């Protein structure tokens, strides 16, 4: 699992996915960073190298990195490379996003008369229990 965890499985992009490639790359690395698989300060693969690994265009990887930088996951230095930024409040940010999506789902369910509690049970959630 080591190499997989570190993103070294060649070409994990799904070309059938409706999401654009640059977004798949962005999401992938956001997850790796949030999980701590990539540590703060660690160097990212270079734009060109990752592009080759994924058999995609450097511009596409560039766009993904720019997005990751904008969202505070990376910083890039011309001539040196791209690096994982120290945690900051990335976790809090992600947590808020998840809470938001969760809220939307529960609201949708109630609107059409579905009991949220039952919905939760259906997807394996158990109240008052360790869930894992």
Partner DNA sequence: GTGGTCTAGACCACA
Interface positions with a second copy (CB under 8 A): 15-16, 18, 20, 31, 34-35, 70, 75, 77-80, 83, 85, 91, 94-95, 98-103, 105-106, 108-114, 116-117, 119-120, 122-125, 127-128, 131-132
Task: Report the C-alpha gap between 62 and 74 in whole angstroms.
Answer: 12
Return the beta strands (E) in the chain as ranges: 74-77, 81-84
Q: In this structure, what are the phi and psi dihedrals at residue 98, rounded to the nearest 5 degrees?
A: -65, -40
Among a second copy, DNA, none, the one that 124 touches (CB under a kind-dependent 5 to 8 A) is a second copy
Task: Report the C-alpha gap between 65 and 24 in whole angstroms.
Answer: 11
Among a second copy, DNA, none, the one that 58 touches (CB under a kind-dependent 5 to 8 A) is DNA
Contact by Cβ (8 Å): 88, 69: no
Q: How far is the CB of 58 from a second copy (least distance, A)?
A: 14
Task: Report the C-alpha gap between 120 and 99 in whole angstroms.
Answer: 15
Quick note: the x/- pattern for DNA over 54-73, rule CB under 7 A, is --xxxxx-xx-xx--x----
Interface with DNA (CB under 7 A), residue total: 26
Q: How far is the CB of 61 from DNA (least distance, A)?
A: 8
How far from chain centre, in Å, is Cα 47? Answer: 18
Binding site for DNA (CB under 7 A): 20-23, 44, 46-49, 56-60, 62-63, 65-66, 69, 76-82
């Amino acid at each position: 699992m080591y190499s997989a965890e570190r993103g070294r499985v060649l070409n994990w992009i799904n070309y059938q996915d409706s999401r654009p490639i640059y977004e798949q790359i962005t999401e992938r690395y956001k997850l790796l960073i949030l999980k701590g698989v990539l540590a703060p300060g660690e160097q990212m693969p270079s734009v060109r190298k990752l592009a080759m690994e994924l058999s995609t265009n450097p511009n596409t990887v560039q766009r993904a990195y720019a997005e990751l930088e904008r969202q505070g996951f990376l910083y890039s230095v011309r001539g040196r490379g791209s690096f994982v930024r120290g945690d900051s409040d990335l976790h809090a940010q992600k947590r808020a996003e998840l809470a938001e999506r969760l809220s939307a789902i529960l609201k949708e369910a109630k609107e059409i008369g579905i009991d949220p509690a039952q919905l939760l049970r259906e997807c394996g959630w158990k109240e008052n229990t360790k869930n894992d």
